[in-house]
Each structure stands twice: as C-alpha cells, then as structure tokens.
Structure 1
C-alpha cells in the first residue's frame, strides 16, 4: 500500500501559508470565476441528446435494438450525474439555491440519485480524502482498500477480497443500482437530506417515468434487458470515471499530520488527455485541481493545471499524473496487493 514519506509531512503552522499563496494566484488569474454560459451550453447539449434518444426510443418501439439505446442513455445519465456533481460543489452559480435546483433536477429527477445524500457523502470525502476511518469512498463493502480492512473479512467476503482486483470492474456494473438503493435508504432515514419531501417526490417521479416508459414501449423481456444493460453501463461508466481519482494513491491515517495542500495533492491522481477525455470524465481527470479548489468551475480546471503543477514543483510536492489505462492499472494493482496480503494471512 502506498504511504506518505516523512519528507512529505509537515506541521500545518509551517506550511498552511503555502495554500494561501496558491489560492491568491488562482483567484488572481480569474480561475474561480463562474462560467454559467459554458454550463448552459453543456446542459443544452446533454438534455437535447437525451431528448433525441427519447424520440429514437419511441420510434424503435419493441425492438431488441433498444439495447443500443440503453447504452447511449447510460452515457447521457452519467453526464447528468457529472453536472449534479458540479452543482453540489457550487461550481455553476454563486447562489446555493440555484445550484441546488440544478442538482435536484440532474440527480433526483433525471438520474434517480439523491442529491442531498450524495453531497453529504462527497463532502466528507473531500474533507478527508483517502483517510482511514473518515473517507466513505474507501469504506465500500465488499472491497478492502487497506490490510486492516481485509483482515476483518471472513467467509465469502474474505474470498472476494482475495480476488477483488479481477472482480472490480464487474462489480461496478451494480454501482448504479447501489446508488439508487442508497438514495432511497437515505430518504427513508433522513440521513443528510435537507429537502426530504422534494427529494422523495422527484425520486418517485424518476422511477415512475423510467419504468413506465420502458414497460409501456417494450415487451417485458425487452424491458428487463433494457434496464439491466442501462443500469450496468451507467454504473460501469461512473465507477470507471471515479476509480482513477484516488484508488492506489497513498492512504492516510490519523498519524499523518498533513496540511490541506499536501493532503489533497498527495492523495489525488490526474489523468492526461485532451478535451475529449475532459468531456468523457466530466473534468474529474483534473482531480488535483478539483480537490484543491472544489468550487472551481469545470471549464477552468484545465487552465489551472499548469499553474498548480508548477507551484507543486516549486514546493517539492509530488504531483501525480498518468494515462487513463495506467490509472486503472495502478488502482487494480493496489487492490491486488491488498488481496494478496489477505491470502498470506490465511
């Protein structure tokens, strides 16, 4: 498991001013300025494409070709989830209410994911990235990201951990269903939900509209296959987009007393690529920049990268960037190493 070296550690009192210096540079360059027109164009493209696919869905009718429609719609739903992510970070508008409206529409209504639950969970991740006992993204059953987690697994869970690297991407195919189930559970228990009646109503509308359209247009077998393909690819797309960000990067403990700048940079990984990859990954390929400045609008991340990368180089802070394939390989290598250590203790 990757660890943080002693040279990377430092007292917050000694290094806290470095982030303030970087923040002044970023703000001075106008990189925190909102880009509502750019977002309006993106929303128009995604919703327009979804509308076109709706027309195609109706015109095709009860056909097995609808599996292709399911695949395309899965990609568009993931793009809506990325927009909900940006709204949750207040990247789109300066007004919290306006961002929440976008988040509720993109999340609850269109993708079937509770916006309030996700924001609460994601904020905890940003506050303590890759930190044992604090980051919910490294406490994901049935995966084990540390030897300590792996050591507690018994029976079928222990068997899974030993083979978790091979099972990781197949497991992502149920991530969409997990997100839906977690959203419903959060609504029922009121955990992290500020606008519970609104969120519940929008989720009901999503489920009714989604299932109603599928079962009205398709035969029952076709409808079931459509849902399975759509949800599997939706989960796989989202999971494959999030996995490169932190999996396989250093995991921190309470003893790792890092300042904010190093905590965010050392636990994050960027993915190299052009504008197409930026669009496909929803800007999450600039994970370092995003974690340092969560409210930075997505269109500004690529412009902030050279400035932040140079700042890290000037202050001897490791800045990790690789290709998409390499990022997946590094994540799988970490899971494989944890699984191997679990096997050696049996």
Structure 2
C-alpha cells in the first residue's frame, strides 16, 4: 500500500492555537471523547481470567520444550495487557484520575512487571514534545542513533560501522527490549527521583517478579526455564517495539529550540498505520497515532472513527497527515535509521516529506 501525506508544505505555515480548539470542539460534539465503560470493563475482567488460564496451561504442560510455545503466548498476553495499562495511564478508561492511576499500577506493575511511575514519567515527556531533540526520551536510546549529532558522538570505527547499518540491526535489537524495559522499571523505582506511590510500586514489582520466576523455575528444569524466559522476554520486546516503532521513527525531528503550534507538532511528527480491525487489535490502537497524540484521553475504540474527521480537518488547514501500510512503515524506519547512520540524513527533515515536497506544485 502507498504512503499518503496530505499537503506536506503546510508544515511551514504558522497556525493560531484556536485551530486545534476548533478540531477539539468538532470531536467533542461527535461524542468520541465519551467513556466506553462496557468495552474497558470487559477487558479489565479478562486480564486475571486470561492470565490465570495461561498459568494453568503452563503448569499442565509441565517441564517440556513445548513451553517455548507457551512463552510466545505469555509474551502476547503481557503485551496486550500493557496496551490496556497504556489506555488507563492516558485517562481513557475512567473519569477519575485516581481510578486510572491504580488501574495502571495494578496492570503495569503487578501483571506486566513494568513500573507505571517510570513509564508515566518517560511517556509524558514524549507526548509533550514528540521527535524533539534533547527533549523526547524516545530519541535517546543507547544502541540506536536518530540524529547526526548522536552519530558524530561516536568515534570508534567498529561502532561507526554498526551505526551505518543500524537500520538492519534495529529489529533484532528489539529482542532485548523486554529485558531492558523490566530493568529500567526496577532501576527507576529504586532511584531517588520523585515518584508517587513508590512503596506500592516496589511491593507490586517485587511480588510480580519473584512470583513469576518462582513459578517458572518450580515447574521447569533450569535449562528449559532459561529458554522459556529468553523467548518470553524476546517476543515481548519485539512485539512492543514493532507496535511503537512505526509511530514516529522516520518522521521529522526538530531542534530543541524550534517552536510549533500544538496541532502541527503532534500531527507532523506522527504516522498512522492503515489497516483493519485486526491491525487495531494487534497494535492496541497505536496505529492511530495522530489521533492518539491529539486526543490522548480518547477511548481506544473511538480512534478509528475519529481518523477520517481529523484527516479531513488537516487537509482543509494544510497540515501534513501521514498514513501508510504496516509493512511499508517498517521499510521507512529501516531506511531512515540507516541514512542517519551513514551521515546522509538531515535530522530536521523526513525522507517522505522531502519526496512529496519535491513533486508538490
């Protein structure tokens, strides 16, 4: 499927803030910001039931190499649960902030094993300034460079060679993302940095991690247990990475001091993934990244319905609105990261926008 960018030259025009207010009013009047309690209560009830079913299946299979298939199932379930925690953290489920916070704490810390406080701190900064150098934490990864400044900071020839091919290494590296997420969570909760409900976070994380490891090593022999954990963490990290990577990677990166209005900042830096209800489910609604960034508290099932309205509004106001197929988005990410690694990429432009701008009348 082809990539669609509506009116790419619109990014150069300044817009008053009331343009977004107009869009927000249209969305609000359409009822798309209303809560979906039935949808979310069904998912919340499914979390312990599905997790319990996975544990029962794990115990019944016993000490067998077939558990590697069970590990894939666990990885899939944990990722889907993490998507639900993401929705709660964005206040999509309940009106009460306290209810959403505790839902995120239980889901994230107790079921997935990731600190809600750590994720909230990181993700809030990303939403405020997506793809902004020195501000968006998602651009600051230890093994991948997204800007020329990050590339030139490395002087070792072997490291520079790896960076020049980093687009191809990016996806295999995602196999380590699951372990990295858990490690970052644990490190954050034991740091001195401010964190609400730190004792609760610590208790939930310790209970989840210790209980999970105890179950795995009680049922499985050491070798099978190690393989099980490697597969589960690897697939979990890969699934999370493949769901989040297409959203912003390969879209424009702006300097720290660049000022953009809210509508332009959120739409220009984000990419939607065109698809169907199956894609919506597999990506946890993250494929509607533009709508999610414009309306973070919009319930997940409403994002698909809001997309046509947002796309039309952006076209009428000359705001670039990017959408592409899933497979094509991975190709864009690969080429973009490799171009950065080769030192050929201007971090303030997007290869797709450059191409469209070149042929625009």
Q: Normalising TM by the smaller chain, what interval? A: over 0.9
Q: Which residue of 1 aligns with 2:12?
A: 9
Deviation at 1:56, TM superposition (A): 0.9
Q: 1-side partners of 2:185 and 2:192: how far apart?
A: 10
CA distance in 1, matches of 2:10, 2:96: 41
- Cα distance in 2 for partners of 1:307, 1:6 equals 20
Deviations 1:266-294 (A, max 9, x none): 00000011111101000000000000011
Structure 2: runs of 5+ lacking an equivalent: 1-6, 346-361
Equivalent position SS for 1:131: coil
Who is 2:64 aligned against?
63
Assess, with a 3 A threshold, how the Cα gap between structure 1 residues 272 and 47 changes in structure 2: closer, same or farther.
farther
Q: Would the aligned equivalents of 1:46 and 1:79 in 2 still touch at CA under 8 Å?
A: no
In the alignment, structure 1 segments of 5+ residues that lack a partner are: none
Q: How many residues align?
A: 338
Provide Cα deviations, 1:143-199, integer angstroms capped at 9, x if missing partner.
100111111013254333122111101110111111111111111114352110000
Deviating above 6 A after TM superposition, structure 1's stretches of 4 or more consecutive aligned residues are none
**SS of the residue 2:211 aligns to:** helix
CA distance in structure 1 between the aligned counterparts of 2:210 and 2:229, rounded to whole angstroms: 13
Q: Indicate yes or no: 2:168 matched with 1:166.
A: yes
* Distance (Å, rounded) in 2 between the aligned partners of 1:140 and 1:120: 16
- 1:308-343 alpha-carbon deviations (Å, 9 max, x no partner): 111011111111001110111111111010111289
Instruction: Give 1:255 shift.
Output: 4.8
Structure 2 Cα separation of the partners of residues 43 and 253 of structure 1:
40
Distance 1:100 1:116 in 2: 9
**Where does residue 94 of structure 1 map in the other structure?**
95
Q: Is the 8 A contact 1:10 1:258 kept in 2?
A: no
CA distance, structure 2, for counterparts of residue 158 and residue 198 of structure 1: 43
The CA distance in 1 between the partners of 2:192 and 2:174, in whole Å, is: 26
* 1:22 counterpart = 2:5: no
1:105-144 residue pairs with structure 2 within 5 A? 105-144=106-145
Of 252, 255, 264 in structure 1, the residue corresponding to residue 254 of structure 2 is 252
**In 2, Cα distance between the equivalents of 1:49 and 1:304?**
30
1:19 aligned counterpart, secondary structure: helix
Structure 1 residues 208 and 254: CA distance shift in structure 2, 3 A: closer
RCO higher in structure (CA 8 A, sep ≥6)? 2
Q: Deviations over 1:284-305 (max 9, x none)?
A: 0000000001111111111111
- The change in CA–CA distance for 1:206 and 1:154 in structure 2 (over 3 A counts) is farther
Distance 1:5 1:304, change over 3 A: closer
CA distance in 1, matches of 2:194, 2:250: 28
Corresponding residue number in structure 1 for 2:245 = 243
Structure 2 equivalent of residue 294 of structure 1: 296
Matches within 5 A, 1:172-211: 172-211=174-213
Q: What is the Cα-based RMSD across aligned positions, in Å?
A: 1.6
**Residue 322 of structure 1: SS of its match in structure 2?**
strand
SS of the residue corresponding to residue 270 of structure 1 reads strand
Report what 2:320 is aligned to. Answer: 318
1:151–1:342 CA contact under 8 A, matched in 2: no
Q: Please show how residues 80-91 of structure 1 align to structure 2 within 5 Å.
A: 80-91=81-92
Contact 1:132–1:252 under 8 Å retained in 2: yes
The answer to which of 163-172 and 121-130 deviates more is: 163-172
Question: 2:275, 2:325 within 8 Å by CA — same for their partners in 1?
Answer: yes
